[in-house]
Amino acid sequence: MIEWKGMTVKAHEAFDVVESRRVDSLNVTLEHYRHRVTGADHYHISSDNPENVFMVTLRTMPKDSTGVAHILEHTALCGSENYPVRDPFFMMTRRSLNTFMNAMTSSDWTAYPFASENAKDYENLLSVYLDAVFFSNLEELDFLQEGHRLEFSEPDDPNSPLVYKGVVFNEMKGAMSSPVSQLYQGIKHHLFPYNTYHFNSGGDPEAITDLTYDQLKAFYKTHYHPSNATFFTFGDRPAADIQQRIHDQALHRFEALDHKLEVALEKRFNSILRVEDAYAAEPGDLSGKTHHVHGWLLGESTDLFAQLEAHLLSDVLLDNSASPLRKALENTELGSNPSPMCGLDDSNREMMFVCGLEGSEPEHAAAFEQLVIDTLEEVAEKGVPYEDIEAMLHQLELSQREITGDGQPYGMHLIFSVIGAATHGGSVMDSLDIDPALEKLRELSKDPNYIPHLVRSLLLDNSHRVRLTLRPEDQLHDRQLANERARLDRIQSRLDEDEKAAIVEQARKLKERQEQEDDIEMLPKVTLDDVKPDVKRIHPVSEGSIVRYEAGTNGLAYQQWYVPLPDLTTDELALLPIYTAVLTELGAGERDYLGMQQWQAARTGSVSLHSQFRNPLNSANTVAGYLVLSGRALMRHLDELTQILHQHWTSPRFDERSRIHDLLRQMSARRQQSVTGSGHMLAMQTASAHHNRANALTYEMGGLPAIRRLKGWLNDFEQEDAHLDQWLARLSDLHAKVTEQSAQAVLIAEPSELETATELTEQFGLDKRTGQPASIDQTADIDPAARQLAWSVNTQVNFCASAYPTVLSEHADSAPLTVLAGILRDNYLHRTIREQGGAYGGGASHDSNTGTFRFFSYRDPRIEGTLDDFKASLEWIRSEGAKADQVESAILGVVGSMDRPGSPAGEAKQAFQNRLFGRTDDFRKAYREALLAVKPDDVVRVACQYFDPDKVSQTVVTDHKHADELGGKGFKVEAL
C-alpha cells in the first residue's frame, strides 16, 4: 500500500503502481499497475458499482486474411489445462450468473471479457478465462470444428461431394454478405496497403480455408503471452485482490518476452487511389444500388488531442442533416442516401475518416468525389458558425458524462473507450479523463479559422486517400459458389483411397468428440443458493401525471411522454413505424428540419419517438400500445429539451415533402442492410406470427413485410409523384388522431435535481393527463397454408426458425417451458446446429409474454437438417429425460438474464414499463419463484404436452436459389 498523489493505492507484491488518477466527471479512479516479471499492464477502474468487469486483451496482428486471430479466439475457448472439457466457455454460460460473457476479435486485438455482480461467480469465471487464454489445449479437432474442414456431404460416403464446414467459415460468409461490411473491409484494404489493417482479421471466406492447424498454434505461441497482454478491470473489487488471482493462476509461470508486437505506421500516398469493385446482388434491376466512399488516413489515435480534433471535425461535417457534408450527401441527385460508413474510425493505430453515398450508379464516381471536395473547399473558405461547433463540443461532453449500461455493462463501455490507447502505447489516463483536452479544444475552436484549418490539414491537403466504388453484380454470388465448388472438385479428384478414408475418419472422430459426455463438474459453478431471493425493486418517488424516479445519472435528466394509442385501422398500423421514425427528424413550428437538427444537437443527447405494444397477462390476442416520446439532456438544458419535445409533438412539419422522401429512402436502405445481421430474429418473428395477434402485429409492423412494404411505397412514389402527396396526407391524419390522446410523463434525474426538473417539465411539457390505450384488433390475417414460409433475401447463409403455441406467463407451465428452452439449447441444439452443422449459432427460447416457443439458427449453411434438429431435440428430451443439473443450469441462465443490470436511467424506465403493462414486482417475484421451483419431471411433461406437429410453423430466410427449392417442397415463397 502506498500514497499516490493523496490517494491510497494498494498493489499485489508482484505488481508495481505506475499511476493513479481520479476522474471526477465519471466518479471513478483509474489505477495503472504493471506486473514486474512479464510487464503485463493492469488498468483498474475503481468504482462503487457492484457489477465487476474483467477483460484481458492480446495484441493480435495477422498478416493475411485467413482469420487466424478470429479462429484462435474461438478455439482457445474449447478446453484448457485445468478445464480439459470440450466446451468450457459455453458450459460456463449455464453455470454462472454472469451479466456479460463473450470473446471478440478486432483489427489488432483479441479480447476476452466478462462481468458479474456475484463474487463467487466472478472468481469462477476469472479462473476459467485465465486458463483458456494462457493455457489453451488447442486440440486439432476443435480447430476443424471452429475454423474450417473438409467433409463429404454424406460424411460416411467418400463418393459424395466434398464441402467446407466450420463455424467461423460460415460466420464470415454471413458477415461478408453485407455490402457495408465489404465497403469497410475494402476501404481499410486500400488505405492500409502495408500493415495488418490491410487484411480482414475476421477472415475472408475465400482465404479462411488456407489456414493450417500448425499456423494457428504458431500464432498462439507468439501472441497469447502476458507480455503481449493488457488486463482491464472495473468495479468495487480491490485491484490487489484481482492481481493476486491473476498472478497465482497464470502470470507466475511466465518470463518476459524479448520482443513487443506493434502495428507499423503506414507509408503515405503521394496521390489519391481510385478503385472499383463488385458485390453480390440479387437478380433484378441493379440501378441505384452502387456505393461510393471516400476515405482519408489521418494521424495516430494515441494522440488524444488529435483524436478529439478529428472527432470534432467529423461531427461538424456529418453529425446531422444541418452539417455541411451530410447536407450535401443527403440533397445530391447522385445517390439516394449518405452511406452508413460516414464518420471517423479511431479504433486502429491511425485513424480514418470516411464519407460516402449509396443508391448511386458506377458512372457517378467522379461527380461524387467532386461533390465531396467542393463541399470541403466551401467549409475551408467560409468556415462554420460557432454555435455549430459549440453544439458538437456539447455532444462530446454529454457522451463523456452519460452513464450507459443497457446494451453492455457500463464498466465495459469505459474499458472499450481506452483499449486503443492501451494497445498502441497511448495515455490510458488521458483517454478516460478527457475534460482537460476538451477544455483546450473549446478554447481553440473559438478561432473562426480553426475548423477551416482542420479541413485543409486533415483532408484537402492530405493525399493519402482512397475513392472506392462498389457496384452490384447479380451473377457474382453464383460465380463465387461455382469457384468454391470447382476448388472442392479439384481437391476431390486428386484424393486417393487413403486420403478419402482419412477424411471419413476425421469426420467420425469429430462427431465422436462432439457427442462425448464431459465431466462438467471439472468446471466451477454457482448454484441456486447463490441466486438473489427477490427481484430488484425500483419505485418512483411520486406518481400522478408526472411519474418521477431518482437515479444516479451524473447530471443528466431523462424525460418520456407515454401517449396511449387510440383504435387504429390496418392502414394506420402499417404507417405507424414510419411515423415514429420520421417525426423527430422533421422541422417543427417555425423551424425547418435543419433548424431543429441544430437545436437538438446543441441542447440534447437525442430525441426519439417509438411505439410500444404489449398484451395483457391473460391473453395474446388482445394488444394495446403507447407512443413514447423520449429525450435526454444535461440538466442545464432540460428546459429546452422539453420545448423541443413539445414542438415536435404539437407542430411537426409534414409539409417538408422532400425531407420525408429522403428519410424514407435512408430508412429503407438501412432496414434492407440489417437483414443479414438480424435474420434469425426476422425468421422467428415470421414463424411466431401464425399463433396469435400479438406476434402477428410484431411481424407486420417490424418484420420482413414492413421492410418490403416501405420498399414498395418508394417504388410507387417513383412511378407516380402524386402518390407521395396522398401518402403524406394519411401520415398527417394519423398524427392528428394520436395527438388527441392524453399523455403521462416519466422523469428521471439526480435526487438533488428532481424538483427543479419537475418544475421545468410542468412549465414546458405536454398536456398531462392519464388515459388508457385502445385494444388493437386489426392485424392482418396470415394464410394458414403459409405455415411453411421462405423469404428470399440477399444472403450467402440461412436463418431458420420454428414456432409452437404454448401458454402465457401466468400459467403454471410457463416456467417449465422457459427452462426447457435452456436445456434444449445447451444440451442438444448447440451441438447439432453449431458444432456439427456449422452454423454460427442456434437455440430455443420461450416467449412467456405471447405464449410462443421458438427455435432458431443463425448464419447457417443448412436448412432441412436444421429444421430436423429442432424436432429431434424434442424427441431427445422426451426419450432421455431431463437431469437435475441440466435444470439447474437452465434456471441459472434465465435468472441471470432477468437480473442483468442496466443503466440507472434504463432501470427506472424498465420499472415504469413493468408497472404500466401489469408486470408488477409481486408478479415478477412469483414468476421467479416458479422458475426456481421447476423440476426435471415438469420439463419432460411440457415437452410432451405442447409440441403438436400439426401446429408448428416454419420459416427460412435464405437466398433466391434456396427459396425456389423450398417452394418446390411445400413452402410458400416471399421475396423482399
Strands (E), 780-820: 788-792, 799-805
- Which CATH architecture group holds 783-975? 2-Layer Sandwich (3.30)
Q: Write the CA distances from 238 to 24, 245, 524, 665, integer angstroms.
A: 19, 12, 22, 51
Q: What is the pLDDT of residue 342?
A: 96
Q: Which residues contact 82 (CB under 8 A, 6 or more apart)?
A: 127, 131, 135
Cα gap 73→70, rounded to integer Å: 5
* Range 393-410 average pLDDT: 86
For 416-442, the pLDDT digits (tens) are 999 999 999 999 999 999 989 999 999
Residue 262 burial (CB < 10 Å; 0-12/13-18/19+)? middle
Whether residue 279 has pLDDT greater than 60: yes
Cα gap 389→319, rounded to integer Å: 11
Strands 788-792 and 972-975: parallel
Q: What is the pLDDT of residue 778?
A: 53
Fold observed for domain 273-410+424-473: Cytochrome Bc1 Complex; Chain A, domain 1 (3.30.830)
Residues linked to residue 46 through DSSP beta bridges, in sequence order? 29, 235
Cα gap 368→163, rounded to integer Å: 42
Residues linked to residue 357 through DSSP beta bridges, in sequence order? 292, 338
Cα gap 85→92, rounded to integer Å: 11
Fold observed for domain 546-764: Cytochrome Bc1 Complex; Chain A, domain 1 (3.30.830)
Whether residue 6 has pLDDT greater than 70: no
For residue 99, give the amino acid letter. Answer: T
For 716-748, the pLDDT digits (tens) are 998 998 999 999 999 999 999 999 888 888 999
Cα gap 810→619, rounded to integer Å: 10
- For the stretch 270-304, what's the b/e string if a residue is b when 16 or more beta carbons lie within 10 angstroms of its beta carbon? eeeeeeeebbbbbeeeeeebbbbbbbbbbbbbbbb
Check: CB of residue 506 under 8 Å from CB of residue 149: yes
Statement: 2-167+195-256 belongs to CATH 3.30.830.10: yes
For 76-131, the pLDDT digits (tens) are 999 999 999 988 998 898 899 999 999 999 999 999 999 999 999 999 999 999 99
* Range 513-526 average pLDDT: 89
Angle between helices 638-650 and 754-764 (to 10 degrees): 30
Q: What angle do CA 313, 316, 320 make, to 5 degrees?
A: 140
Q: Which of 471, 359, 429, 301 is nearest to 5 (CA)?
A: 429
Check: CB of residue 375 under 8 Å from CB of residue 331: no
For 439-491, the pLDDT digits (tens) are 999 999 999 999 999 999 999 999 999 999 999 999 998 899 999 999 999 99
For 44-84, the pLDDT digits (tens) are 999 999 999 999 999 999 999 999 999 999 999 999 999 99
Cα gap 199→71, rounded to integer Å: 15
Backbone φ and ψ for 41, nearest 5 degrees, come out as -85, 145
Q: What angle do CA 481, 483, 485 make, to 5 degrees?
A: 70
Strand arrangement, sheet containing 744-749: 546-550, 744-749, 556-564, 624-634, 606-614
Cα gap 700→686, rounded to integer Å: 9
Check: CB of residue 269 under 8 Å from CB of residue 192: no
CATH 3.30.830.10 segments of the chain:
2-167+195-256, 273-410+424-473, 546-764, 783-975
Query: Confidence band (pLDDT; 50, 70, 90) for 4?
Result: very low
Cα gap 903→812, rounded to integer Å: 32
Q: Write the CA distances from 89 to 84, 106, 408, 549, integer angstroms.
A: 11, 19, 19, 38
Cα gap 871→775, rounded to integer Å: 35
Whether residue 775 has pLDDT greater than 80: no
Cα gap 150→279, rounded to integer Å: 26
For residue 97, give the amino acid letter. Answer: L
> Of all residues in the chain, what percent carry a pLDDT higher than 90?
82
Max CA-CA distance within the chain?
A: 84
Q: Which residues contact 485 (CB under 8 A, 6 or more apart)?
A: 161
Check: CB of residue 652 under 8 Å from CB of residue 663: no
Cα gap 597→599, rounded to integer Å: 5
For 563-610, the pLDDT digits (tens) are 999 999 999 999 999 999 999 999 999 999 999 999 999 999 999 999
Q: Extract the C-alpha cell encoding 937.
A: 419431471
